[in-house]
Amino acid sequence: MRPFQPYLLSLFFYFFVLSIANPVYAESGTVGSPQQRDQPARPVTLVACQLVLAGNEVTKPAAAGVPFGSNPECGNTIRVNDIELYCEAYGSGRPLLLLHGNGASISALKALIPFLAKRYQVIAIDSRAHGRSGDSDQELTFKLMASDMAALIDTLHLPPVLVVGWSDGGIVGLELAAAYPDKVAALVASGANFVADSSALPAEAIDPAKIIWFRQLDPLEKQRYIDASRFPDRAPLIFDKVINLDLKYPNFTLAELGKIQTPVLVVAGDHDEIIDTHTLALFHALPHADLFIVPHSHHSVMIDRPQLLSAMISEFLDTPFHDLE
């Protein structure tokens, strides 16, 4: 979510290294080449892979050797809005959008994919300005990222989708449910906040003066990032705009959250970086929500506890929702 206090800073650089291995596609362009813009729309068929899954041992045989996040057999690059969006599809069943966190990519949630692919068609997505997806000159906001997801749903002619989002991905899910309610059947949001202030995170975590910007990186890290990017001239800009995203957004009001009619499972670790009272406030503001606090877990609970989370996610998504009195 906010990778700028000690724990999250280390998490951010972990995903920074992953993004080096999975750079943004050059083919996606920044705002689309004239040739791309002038091409007629082509029918889009989603390429999906079936994993070899076997009971409770799913993590070992299924995940071993599968290059989640850079899998040419399952990769899809799809034009949405003003960018090319990269996604990978696994399994079959109801469509489920899997959304990663800030500074990460599909590979961050690789341990969760095999479990979910047993029951759903998992469409794991690199968000705008992340992983293998493109970027544009627009300001990066959660509302814009949600509009990308809505455009993807339309382009693929999907029925109302299930959404599982970690951290920033959970925020994108909230924005999608708020702005496009007919496109979301249910949402699981883990480690998500609804405002960008000290009610959600300690003040030092969102203090621009204490954040490491691109210009402050070690020269070798700067060069690694630039060399790995397919947009070397834009690499510093992309690095900083991803940070700015979490400093400025989201900005939900309680009234806006109260209008979301989509069933939501709010998830957090009991040692999450999101302040626990903020998570409770999100849960209470949503009219149709359940709450799952995972014991002995940090913000990275979806990464660290995939089997537990997948079981709870499936139970929530597969059970008709009803409000408790």
Q: Name the phi and psi angles at 149, rounded to 5.
A: -65, -40
What is the number of helices (H) and of strands (E) in the chain?
12, 9
Q: Residue written as tokens 């990275």?
A: 300
Return the closest-CA partner of residue 237 out of 140, 100, 105.
Answer: 140
Contact status, residue 287 vs residue 316, Cβ threshold 8 Å: no
277: which strand partners? none
- Expressed in angstroms, the distance from the first to the final Cα of the chain is 32
User: In this predicted structure, what is the pLDDT of residue 18?
Assistant: 45
Rounded Cα–Cα distance for residues 190 and 298 (Å): 11
User: In this predicted structure, what is the pLDDT of residue 228?
Assistant: 81
Q: Residue 144: which residues within 8 A CB-CB, separation 6 or more? A: 81, 128, 138
Q: Tell me which CATH code domain 6-24+45-318 carries.
A: 3.40.50.1820
Return the closest-CA partner of residue 131 out of 88, 174, 183.
Answer: 88
User: In this predicted structure, what is the pLDDT of residue 2?
Assistant: 40
- pLDDT tens-place values along the chain, 325 residues long: 444 334 444 444 444 444 444 443 333 333 233 333 334 444 566 777 876 444 433 334 345 678 999 998 899 999 999 999 999 999 999 999 999 999 999 999 999 999 999 999 999 999 999 999 999 999 999 999 999 999 999 999 999 999 999 999 999 999 999 999 999 999 999 999 999 999 999 888 888 888 999 999 999 999 998 888 867 888 999 999 999 999 999 999 999 999 999 999 999 999 999 999 999 999 999 999 999 999 999 999 999 999 999 999 999 999 999 999 7
Contact status, residue 150 vs residue 43, Cβ threshold 8 Å: no
User: In this predicted structure, what is the pLDDT of residue 7?
Assistant: 40
User: In this predicted structure, what is the pLDDT of residue 55?
Assistant: 40
Residue-range domain boundaries for the chain? 6-24+45-318
CA torsion, ordered 47, 51, 56, 59, to nearest 10 deg: -90
User: In this predicted structure, what is the pLDDT of residue 266?
Assistant: 98
Q: At what angle do helices 219-228 and 235-248 cross, to 10 degrees?
A: 100
Rounded Cα–Cα distance for residues 234 and 36 (Å): 20
Return the closest-CA partner of residue 21 out of 237, 304, 239, 229.
Answer: 229
